[in-house]
Structure 1
Amino acid sequence: MDDSTQYNWTVTYVIVLAVATVTSCATLLLSFKQIKVTDSAVQYLTYSVCRLYFVYTLARLVLYIGVLANFNGLRDTLDAMDNGELMGARAIYSEGKRKPFPVIVTLIGDCALLSTTFFIVTLAYEMKRLIIKSMDRGPSRERAITRQYCIRAYSTSAAFAILMVVSAFLPSSAAETLQTVAFWVELACIWVSVLYPVYATLRISCQKRARSAVDPASLLLHQRIKTFVIVYCMFVFPSCVVEVLVRFVGDIKMEWVGITQILYYLSGGGTVFAIGISASCCFRTLRPIMPPSVYEQLLEGGFFPEDERQNGMDVIVEPPTRRPVFVVTDIEGSSRLWSADSPAMAEAQSIHDDLLRQQLPRFRGYEITTCGDSFQLAFHCVRDAIGWCVSVQEKLLKAPWPASLLKYDNSARVYDIWTRLLFNGLRVRMAIHDGDDRLVFARHPTTGKMTYLGLSEMLAREMGEMGQGGQVIISESALSAFKDEMLHIPRKTELAKFKVQPFRPFELPEFGISVQMHEVVSTRIGDRFRDESAHIRVEKIGERLRSHLMTLPSASVL
């Protein structure tokens, strides 16, 4: 091969490797920005594959830039490049042993390549296991398995590096034999990393056909592993075949070697893109030209740390006994929906109840009682109450409501001009109000549930009817308590993303009660009532409150 042809192929390799390196780096920065990879073996292995592919492509990029610049005569050292890239790497170990730069760079790339093949095999195994068994090992066990994988992968790479270093001090014949063995081991690892994922995918497909019902999450994971296998095999398999043919046939055109080598170098970027990239990365890239509320909603489905906390359905939350914070919820227009479509509303009510209860342990919420479709809850602090309200409102938008329910005005899907989803399904209004020291509380003798009795508790119930469906309102006193809480919260503490804006006062003139209310708006959803105002009849509130006050013990109204 003449010098101009070799130079052209080297330039091509540099361009391809630069693209693969940038793709790998972008995936690392975008896909794993806010994911805790240490609690899941699959996530850690995916992260490791992306990271090691970045190291591998970067090392090879630096190597070929050195070839273009003829650094320390490196271009002359790689005259054997027409026998394949791996052969060229072995040439560096044998011919360039007195040139530490190319040897070190090549060795780093080879070690990263070996570790990558190991992690690809284990990633396919873990995905297969997770899909077939439909359960993980728990965080502590997952971390232990991850450590074992790391030890095995990096020990193998360290052994390979030691052999290459030792070969530099051996006679030429012994060094060549050792490097040939190392090459075949490396090639065998690549073949295994191609064949095992194919086997895992076929095994999963057989298991899926054998089951009458398949978990939707498993289907999504199966689709991800199929994409990964197709992309990886498409890029790597041709190079593996050509590498073997070069050793046994010998007469392979440089064009075939070069094309398959380009595909192999692109395998890093392609595989990383297939297993690591997602729609969230695209949305993060487009963030500068998106309205903030649109961006927040697009990324709402699981790429934020708060969504990775376990919902803790088995966690027992003790009822607050000192200045509890009350939250009262209510479904807007539920009576009309029940009369219009009872079966659909029964299903929607079940979804609503499960969703609200599912989020309670996460925010240390305590369910006091339910009355029809209204929930009365107590929280230990205002921060948790706001967090629960915001989280539930966001998740109500994603709930799988019955299709027949969505045809009614007060449960239909509503979009804005950005096609951002504003409403979907049941519209739940919420009110937050803090309790005071004059509350009377005791456990119910039959149910064992904590009951609260006092003016602040009843005000919270009446405030629950002020807002519109989908609105979260908070009293002035509760908002002041929240601001006091924030003075003692570390800056790095994760908080719900929301803003507070003025709402109308809650007034009962006959009792001399006037409480300024505020609206809590999730920044992910946006202000759904920007062009609307709340039209609430408050005349009857005073009558109901008067009847409540008549039943209070004297100690509770002092």
Structure 2
Amino acid sequence: MAIVLGVVCVLLVVVIVGFARDRGRLQRQLADAQHHITQLESDLDAALRPPPPSNSADRAVRRVIRAATRVREHGITGLIQSTVEDLQSWASDDERADILNMAASDGTVTLFFSDIEDSTPLNDRLGDSTWVKVLAAHDRVLRTQIERYRGQVVKTAGDGFMVAFRDAEAACRAALAIQRDLPRDVTLRRYGPILVRIGIHTGQVVARDGDYFGRNVAMAARVANLALGGEVLASDAVREALDDDAAVVLVERDAVELKGLPGEHVVWELLAPAT
């Protein structure tokens, strides 16, 4: 009996040793297979991933393409959804300082949002090459008047602009001047009509990293979304901020609801005074 037990024990030891050896071999094979799979995934990812931008110009082009896509997908309100990393790319240190200095000591600033009405079908109709010329002419008209009235471009995305002004009248006069000059531009007249919608709102904002955040930023974007091409709309806060002798005419619209903002809001159409 003892002999039988001894033989059984020896056999068990042999089986256990063999099992351990096979298990170790299988684990090594599995580890090798996992390594190969990881390497293949890495190679595939590298092959499919576009090469990084080689210089600052390439990086800027990619940022513009991403931003234009965001505006087309989400409308002008997409301008208020940039990440802090995006904001750092839009403005230099000096520009960010200028942007922050636009707000009064209580954080009040007048914000101006604009974009081209039906820009996507316009782009399709004109083709990319001509569309680039149209955008350049559009930007030139806007920036000329923004600079004239001491506004500061916070950021742009495709054909959309977000601009800060120190006072409401300057923002209103810049907007009216832009609407006056757009049809006069030779390039825009040739390929137009190019109709721009503009919304203006005054309120307190939160400033950070060269950008503005908060409810009043959303309010300005919502007002712009209400405008038709060629129109300038302003919130009731803008009307209250204007002096009685301001060189603008305001026509009251019906009160409206604005997405994400409770209650009804009075909106005014901004017109140039009769000459």
Which residue of structure 2 lines up, in the alignment, with residue 79 of structure 1? none
Deviation at 1:392, TM superposition (A): 0.9
Q: Is the 8 A contact 1:344 1:404 kept in 2?
A: no
Deviation at 1:403, TM superposition (A): 6.3
Q: Distance in 1 between matches of 2:119 and 2:259?
A: 30
Deviation at 1:524, TM superposition (A): 6.0
Deviation at 1:511, TM superposition (A): 4.7
Q: Distance in 2 between matches of 1:382 and 1:404?
A: 33
Q: Choose the corresponding residue for 1:469, options 199, 205, 229.
A: 229
1:442 equivalenced with 2:208 (yes/no): yes
Which residue of structure 1 lines up, in the alignment, with residue 98 of structure 2? 318
State the secondary structure of the residue aligned to 1:512.
strand
Distance change >3 Å, CA 511–CA 463, structure 1 → 2: closer
Distance change >3 Å, CA 334–CA 367, structure 1 → 2: same
Q: Which runs of 5+ in 1 are unaligned?
A: 1-315, 412-425, 444-449, 526-558
1:517 equivalenced with 2:267 (yes/no): yes
State the secondary structure of the residue aligned to 1:480.
helix
Q: Distance in 1 between matches of 2:259 and 2:191?
A: 40
Distance change >3 Å, CA 509–CA 336, structure 1 → 2: closer
Distance change >3 Å, CA 524–CA 398, structure 1 → 2: farther
Q: Which runs of 5+ in 2 are unaligned?
A: 1-94
Equivalences for residues 17-96 of structure 1 within 5 A: none
AA of the residue aligned to 1:514? E
Which residue of structure 1 lines up, in the alignment, with residue 212 of structure 2? 452
Equivalences for residues 70-149 of structure 1 within 5 A: none
- TM-score when scaled to structure 2? 0.58
Q: Which is helix-richer, 1 or 2? A: 1
Structure 1, residues 42-83: CA drift from partner, whole Å, max 9, x if none? xxxxxxxxxxxxxxxxxxxxxxxxxxxxxxxxxxxxxxxxxx
State the secondary structure of the residue aligned to 2:225.
coil
Structure 1, residues 367-402: CA drift from partner, whole Å, max 9, x if none? 001122110001000010011001111111211125
Q: Distance in 2 between matches of 1:379 and 1:363?
A: 8
State the secondary structure of the residue aligned to 2:184.
coil
Q: Choose the corresponding residue for 1:500, options 206, 231, 250.
A: 250
Distance change >3 Å, CA 503–CA 453, structure 1 → 2: same
Q: Distance in 2 between matches of 1:440 and 1:403?
A: 39
Q: Which is strand-richer, 1 or 2? A: 2
Give the share of equivalent positions with the same residue, in percent.
23
Q: Is the 8 A contact 1:330 1:465 kept in 2?
A: no
State the secondary structure of the residue aligned to 1:360.
helix
Distance change >3 Å, CA 504–CA 442, structure 1 → 2: same
Which residue of structure 1 lines up, in the alignment, with residue 131 of structure 2? 345
Deviation at 1:330, TM superposition (A): 1.1
Which residue of structure 1 lines up, in the alignment, with residue 117 of structure 2? 332
Q: Choose the corresponding residue for 2:141, options 339, 350, 355.
A: 355
Distance change >3 Å, CA 524–CA 514, structure 1 → 2: same
Q: Distance in 2 between matches of 1:431 and 1:369?
A: 15
Distance change >3 Å, CA 471–CA 510, structure 1 → 2: closer
Deviation at 1:519, TM superposition (A): 0.4
> Relative CO higher for 1 or 2, CA cutoff 8 Å, sep ≥ 6?
2
Structure 1, residues 440-489: CA drift from partner, whole Å, max 9, x if none? 2122xxxxxx2001000111112111011000011111111113xx5xxx
Deviation at 1:361, TM superposition (A): 2.1
Distance change >3 Å, CA 340–CA 524, structure 1 → 2: farther
Structure 1, residues 335-367: CA drift from partner, whole Å, max 9, x if none? 101011123222111000011111222211010
Q: Choose the corresponding residue for 2:185, options 399, 403, 406.
A: 399
Q: Choose the corresponding residue for 1:432, options 190, 200, 217.
A: 200
Distance change >3 Å, CA 331–CA 361, structure 1 → 2: same
Q: Distance in 2 between matches of 1:393 and 1:374?
A: 15
Q: Distance in 2 between matches of 1:364 and 1:473?
A: 20
Q: Distance in 2 between matches of 1:510 and 1:347?
A: 36
State the secondary structure of the residue aligned to 2:98.
coil
Q: Distance in 1 between matches of 2:259 and 2:188?
A: 43
Compute the RMSD of aligned alpha carbons.
Answer: 2.3
State the secondary structure of the residue aligned to 1:356.
helix
AA of the residue aligned to 2:167? C
Structure 1, residues 274-315: CA drift from partner, whole Å, max 9, x if none? xxxxxxxxxxxxxxxxxxxxxxxxxxxxxxxxxxxxxxxxxx
Q: Is the 8 A contact 1:382 1:481 kept in 2?
A: yes
Distance change >3 Å, CA 510–CA 340, structure 1 → 2: closer
Instruction: Report how many residues are paired.
Output: 174
Q: Is the 8 A contact 2:250 2:270 kept in 1?
A: yes
Distance change >3 Å, CA 326–CA 348, structure 1 → 2: same
Distance change >3 Å, CA 402–CA 474, structure 1 → 2: closer
Q: Distance in 1 between matches of 2:211 and 2:111?
A: 12
Q: Distance in 1 between matches of 2:197 and 2:250?
A: 16
AA of the residue aligned to 1:321? A
Deviation at 1:404, TM superposition (A): 5.6
Q: Is the 8 A contact 2:222 2:258 kept in 1?
A: no
Equivalences for residues 69-468 of structure 1 within 5 A: 318-319=98-99, 320-322=102-104, 323-342=108-127, 343-401=129-187, 405-406=191-192, 411=193, 426-436=194-204, 439-443=205-209, 450-468=210-228
Q: Distance in 1 between matches of 2:158 and 2:263?
A: 28
